Amino acid sequence: MSAPPVIAIYDLGRTHKKFLILDEGYQLVDERSAVIPDTKDEDGQRCEDLEAISAWMKQEISICLQSHEYEVKAVNFSAHGASWVHLDEYGVPVTPVYDYMKPLPPEFTDQFYALFGGRESFSVATGSPALDMLNSGLQLYWIKKQKTALYPRIRTSLHFPQYGNYLFSKTAHADITSIGCHTGLWDFKQQAYHAWVGKEGLRTLLPDPTSPDAYDLVDYGSKRIIPTGVGLHDSSAALLPFIYTATEPFMLLSSGTWNITLNPYFSGRLSQAEYRRDCLYYLTDPDKPVAAARVFLGHEYQYQVSRLEAHFHKTPGYAHRINPQKHLFEAVLERQSPHRVFYPQTMGDTGPFPGLTGDPADLDQFASFEEAYHKLMVDLTYLQQTSIGLLCDINLPGRLYVSGGFVQSKVFMEALSAFLPGWKIFIAENKRASALGAAVALHRAWQQSPLDGSLSALIPFKSSVKIPVDQYHSYFEWQSHHL
């Protein structure tokens, strides 16, 4: 009996690296993960250990290809896209994989954005907020200007997903989902690399961008020629299963450390004000920009919950057991005051109210962990609802798919439903959306049957608690207007 066909996916997060095996129905067959410790760049800043990651990737595919339990028919990659691997003429990395949170001097970043007439003009020109090293184009400019001994050695620059492909194919690619995601490299009007890239002499380092379904035929030895995808940016990959199987317009809320709302049906044009409020464009197709809005909600949630656990003497993870309580929602909405507001403490200039500050909520004002938690979730959900609202143009889908960590909080889901009256909200069951997206992008490379609509398994969310959110007063607008 022949071994069943499978696709192998590398899902390369900043912290966790995963190797997944999916069958023809895109069900999980096997999964292995690794946490590879950081190293340091020449400036003493933390960065990913490319040598260790590469060794792990080669080891995983080697083990997989030796297995008799399945036959690998395709390989692809999903990864965070704000990191580069810069290669010399021999394909050897020239620099470390600089961390996308690496701080740069404000005077230098200002110099870069001045190429466009300032930060706001940069946003309009390139479809992205000014995010410093998260604008990966700025990193290329920084290396050229500041790493003058290293820059002349670079012949090709690859975003991290495309380095995965290069590791096995030795072919350089640029993927449209990685280039078209807060890089500052793409001109969304001209549908091409932005003119500044050529003016600065950087265009020769960048391959022409390919579509998400592009692949190489790679020889893995022993006469194994396997279609190997060029890799995708993880947030865009997570959207693909829904786009490929959609029968009605929708918006996707991909939740986690960052909560990113994606609207593939946005027909308007983002304004300077919306860029300032952390909106941007993604690409899954050169002709169809996907409007997105970000909020650092998961990071803020972890910080605030840790405060609650310490104050109320609860063990870590206690919040996971809390169910929504109607009387607690009513209590926190009846007793609103500036002292009971969970102003963001860790979000900085991100989200729908950039620069919003305020004193931490006075936890002595709450009778219990449960009461404080309900108020925290109301405040955070209001931030989320505001972020979603930035993408609601005349083609309002009215359907929201929610994936990721926040679907585990019933309190959040109840509050979200209350803040979005009239919307149909669905929970996306698949917890490996980025990996699944990378897999379905190569569907035609290894399967002949059409994609099954059940890929994007969705469970309708049915509210069980009526929350009088019409009584809610956020205080956020007033505070942000007085910064």
Tens of pLDDT along 323-381? 999 999 999 999 999 999 999 999 988 899 988 889 999 999 999 999 999 999 999 99
Confidence (pLDDT) at 445? 97
Cα 58 to Cα 167: distance, rounded to the nearest angstrom: 8
Phi-psi sector, 167: left (phi>0), alpha (psi -120 to 50), beta: alpha
Q: For 66-80, how does the pLDDT look when each residue is reduced to its tens digit (9 = 90+)?
A: 999 999 999 999 998
Taking alpha carbons only, the member of 95, 92, 138, 94 closest to residue 114 is: 138
Cα 285 to Cα 288: distance, rounded to the nearest angstrom: 5
Residue 386: helix, strand or coil by DSSP? helix
Beta strands in 220-332 (DSSP E): 225-229, 232-233, 251-255, 259-263, 279-283, 289-295
What is the average per-residue pLDDT within 397-419?
A: 93
Helix (H) or strand (E) holding 118: none
User: 119-126 and 106-113 helices cross at what angle (nearest 10)?
Assistant: 50
Q: For 185-237, how does the pLDDT look when each residue is reduced to its tens digit (9 = 90+)?
A: 999 888 999 999 999 999 999 999 999 999 999 999 988 999 999 999 998 99
pLDDT level of residue 1 (50, 70, 90 thresholds): low
Report the first-to-last Cα separation within the chain, whole angstroms.
69
| Domains, the chain | 5-230 (3.30.420.40), 239-483 (3.30.420.40)
pLDDT level of residue 397 (50, 70, 90 thresholds): confident
Cα 229 to Cα 217: distance, rounded to the nearest angstrom: 9
Cα 160 to Cα 248: distance, rounded to the nearest angstrom: 33
Distance of CA 124 to the CA centre of its chain: 21
Torsion from C-alpha of 436, 240, 129, 418, nearest 10 degrees: -90
Confidence (pLDDT) at 482? 42
DSSP letter string, 5-68: EEEEEEEE-SS-EEEEEE-TT--EEEEEEE-PPPEE-TTS-EEE-HHHHHHHHHHHHHHHHH-S
Residue 120: helix, strand or coil by DSSP? helix
Backbone angles phi, psi at 67, to 5 degrees: -70, 145
Cα 174 to Cα 166: distance, rounded to the nearest angstrom: 11
* pTM, to two decimals: 0.88
Taking alpha carbons only, the member of 456, 388, 395 closest to residue 416 is: 388
Cα 435 to Cα 367: distance, rounded to the nearest angstrom: 43
Cα 85 to Cα 348: distance, rounded to the nearest angstrom: 28
236 Cβ neighbours under 8 A, 6+ residues apart: 177, 180, 181, 212, 282, 283, 284, 290, 437
Write down the mean pLDDT value for the chain: 93
Question: Is the pLDDT at 478 greater than 70, yes or no?
Answer: no
